[in-house]
Every structure is written in C-alpha cells, then in structure tokens.
Chains A and B, each alone.
Chain A
Amino acid sequence: DIVMTQSPDSLAVSLGERATINCKSSQSVLSSSNSKNYLTWYQKKPGQSPKLLIYWASTRESGVPDRFSGSGSGTEFTLTISSLQAEDVAVYFCQQYYSPPYTFGQGTKLEIK
C-alpha cells in the first residue's frame, strides 16, 4: 500500500497570509504512461462531504478560488493557500489514486492565528 504522510498535523496562519501543507507518498504516484501525478487535495469541513480542490497534483477544480494551488511530482507535493480567508478553516487531505487501495493522508487542520 502507498502510505501518504502530511505535514504539519495542524497549522495556524493569520488572515491574508500564506498557508502551506505538504504531502509525501511512500512511492511515486507519477504515471510513466501519461506523465500525470495521481494526487488529489480535498478540503473537509465538519458535517460536509470532502470538497475537491486540486487533481493531477496541480489542476484546480472548476469553481475553486485561485488562491488554492497544488505543486510537486513523484513523491512530494504541496498545497498552498496564497492568502488565507476565514472560510478556509478546515481539515485538508491529500489522496493518491495511482493504485488501490486509494489512500489518504492523515489530514492537516488549518486554523486562524
């Protein structure tokens, strides 16, 4: 199984400041056949279903504000929120869908400082 490890476990950032969340996979999730990274980022708020933010490691889902961006390749990935807004308080998860079981990181809790 591919193990996904996020850091940090929790993060407090001031409004308007940058938030950075890291995700490492225990093996590469980069496909040699299409050069795509099978890595997704979600935002999860209490009582809500996961909201897709980023797929293919760096493609922003339609409707997601452009302050959210994804980067990285192979085994190391980053989700960046360029200017934190109050509504961004949530838990963020990365997920690999390169091979089953489709594993998630443990989550990073993002709060306002």
Chain B
Amino acid sequence: EVQLVESGGGLVQPGASLTLSCAASGFSLNVYWMYWFRHAPGKGLLWVARLSPDGNNKLYADSVKGRFTISKDNARSTLYLQMDSLRADDTAVYYCARFTDGRFGYWGQGSLVTVSS
C-alpha cells in the first residue's frame, strides 16, 4: 500500500529554518516525480516544488525559490523540504504528493508550519 507521511512541522520565528520530511512506503522514490504543495489558512492550494526520479531535476515556485530546497534519500525512502528564511506568509499545511500516469494520486496527511514571532 502506498503511503506518504509528513513530519517536521511546527512553530518557528520569522527568519528561521525548518526541514520537513515525507516518509514514503509501498513504492520507490527513484521511480516517481515527487512534489510539495501547501495550503495556507483561508487561501488556495499552492504548488511549492518538484523533484525528478533521478534527483537531478528540481523546480520551485517563484515565492520559495532561493529559500527552499527539495531533496530525497532513496535509501531512507524519504523526501525532504528544507525551508530557510521563513516568512509569515509561508504559514501553511505542507503536503507531499506522488505524480504518476497524469495525476497526483497520493498525498500525505500534511504537516503544519506556523511562522510567527
């Protein structure tokens, strides 16, 4: 069974760093494109970053470019999102998702990141 489980969220001050993890089970990360999305309170969904199966192709939304880094550890079956220089408008529930056959069919349960002083 495919499962994605995020962890690492929490309350941090503006300017701080935080790393989210997404533990994958039931499949191999080196086969699928993986994505991070976020949903801010009272706002719409936003794509954040994507990572190719070989780990060499990374793409970011303009709002996080230069501050966030997507990566993975295939051996640990874990996807990461390192978030630096966090701002209040980064406050959101962050989701990892797997893309295959034309759809984002599997999503994690989400990890809440709150940026506040």
- Per-residue CB contact flags for chain B residues 25-47 toward chain A (1 = under 8 Å, else 0) read 00000000001010100001111
Contact B103 A101 (CB under 8 A): no
A77 beta carbon closer than 8 Å to chain B: no
Chain B contact residues: helix, strand, loop or mixed = strand
Q: Are B102 and A36 in contact (CB under 8 A)?
A: yes
Interface size of A in residues (CB-CB distance below 8 Å): 25
Number of A-B contacts (CB under 8 A): 54
Q: Is the CB of B107 within 8 A of A102?
A: no
Which secondary structure dominates where chain A touches chain B? loop
Cβ–Cβ contact B44 & A49, under 8 A: no
Size of B's binding interface in residues, CB under 8 A: 21
Q: For the complex formed, measure the closest distance between the CB of B47 and the CB atoms of chain A, giving whole angstroms.
A: 4
A106 at the interface (CB under 8 A from B): yes
B104 touches A56 (CB 8 A): no
Task: Give every chain A residue within 8 A of B59 (Cβ-Cβ).
Answer: 100
